[in-house]
Amino acid sequence: EVQLVESGGGLVQPGESLRLSCAASGFIASSNYMSWVRQAPGKGLEWVSLIYSGDKIYYADSVKGRFTISRDSPKNTLHLQMNSLRAEDTAVYYCATIQTGRFDDWGQGTLVTVSS
Amino acid sequence: QSALTQPRSVSGSPGQSVTISCTGTSSDVANYNYVSWYQQHPGKAPKVMIYDVNKRPSGVPDRFSGSKSGNTASLTISGLQAEDEAEYYCCSYAGRYTFEFGGGTKLTVL
Q: Is the Cβ pair A56, B36 closer than 8 Å?
A: no
Maximal C-alpha separation, chain A: 40
Q: Is the Cβ pair B52, A104 closer than 8 Å?
A: no
- C-alpha of A50 from chain center: 9
- CA atoms of A81 and A18, how far apart (whole Å): 6
Find the CB nearest B46 among A100, A101, A106. A106
- CA atoms of A79 and A8, how far apart (whole Å): 10
Model confidence band, residue A52 (pLDDT cutoffs 50, 70, 90)? confident
Is A29 touching B (CB cutoff 8 A)? Answer: no
Picking from A1, A39, A45 by the largest number of B CB atoms within 10 A of its own CB, the best residue to mutate is A45
Q: Helix, strand, coil % (nearest 5) of chain B?
A: 5, 50, 50
Looking from the CA of B109 toward its CB, the CA atoms found within 13 Å total 15
Q: Sign of the CA dihedral A43, A97, B42, B8?
A: positive
Is A27 touching B (CB cutoff 8 A)? Answer: no
Model confidence band, residue A103 (pLDDT cutoffs 50, 70, 90)? very high
The region, left, alpha or beta by phi > 0 then psi within -120 to 50, assigned to residue A82 is beta
- CA atoms of A50 and B3, how far apart (whole Å): 18
What pLDDT is recorded for position A29?
Answer: 81
Q: Is the Cβ pair B46, A44 closer than 8 Å?
A: no
Which residues lie below 8 Å from residue A44, measured CB to CB, with a gap of 6+?
Answer: B2, B89, B101, B102, B103, B104
Say if CB A8 and CB A110 are below 8 A apart: yes
Three-state SS for B28?
A: coil
Closest-CA distance of chain A to residue B110, Å: 22
The per-residue pLDDT for range A8-50, each reduced to its tens digit, is 999 999 999 999 999 998 888 877 899 999 999 999 999 999 9
The per-residue pLDDT for range B57-75, each reduced to its tens digit, is 999 999 999 999 999 999 9
Find the CB nearest A106 among B45, B57, B98. B45
What amino acid is encoded at A13 in this protein?
A: Q
Say if CB B24 and CB B92 are below 8 A apart: yes
